[in-house]
Amino acid sequence: MLRFLVALLMMVTSMGAMAKSILVLGDSISAAYGIDVDQGWVTLLQDKLNNSKDHSGYTIHNESISGDTSAGGLARIGQALALHKPSVVLLELGANDGLRGLSPVAMKNNLIEITRRAQKTGAKVILLGMKIPPNYGKRYIDLFYNVYPQLAEELHIPFIPFILEEVALDPAMMQADGLHPNAQAQPIIADKIAAYLFPLL
The helix or strand, by DSSP H or E, that contains position 127, with its residue range, turns out to be strand 124-128
CATH code: domain of residue 121 = 3.40.50.1110
Work out the average pLDDT over 35-40.
Answer: 98
Alpha helices in the chain (DSSP H): 2-19, 41-50, 70-84, 95-99, 104-120, 138-155, 186-197
Amino acid at 36: D
Is residue 142 annotated as a catalytic residue, yes or no?
A: no
Is residue 180 annotated as a catalytic residue, yes or no?
A: yes
Is residue 28 annotated as a catalytic residue, yes or no?
A: yes
Q: How far is CA 89 from CA 85, 132, 133, 168, 184, in A?
A: 10, 23, 26, 24, 25
The pTM assigned to this predicted structure is: 0.90
pLDDT tens-digit readout, 114-164: 999 999 999 999 999 999 999 999 999 999 999 999 999 999 999 999 999
Residue 11 lies in a domain: no
Expressed as residue numbers, the domain containing 103 is 18-200
Residue 12 lies in a domain: no
Q: Pick the catalytic residue: 28, 30, 70, 87? A: 28
pLDDT bin (cut points 50, 70, 90) of residue 174 is very high
Residue 158 lies in a domain: yes
- If one counts the domains in the chain, the total is 1
Go through the chain and tell me how many residues it has.
201
Residue 134 lies in a domain: yes
Q: Pick the catalytic residue: 30, 84, 87, 180? A: 180
DSSP letters for 4-40: HHHHHHHHHHHHHHHHTEEEEEESTTTTTTTS-GGGS
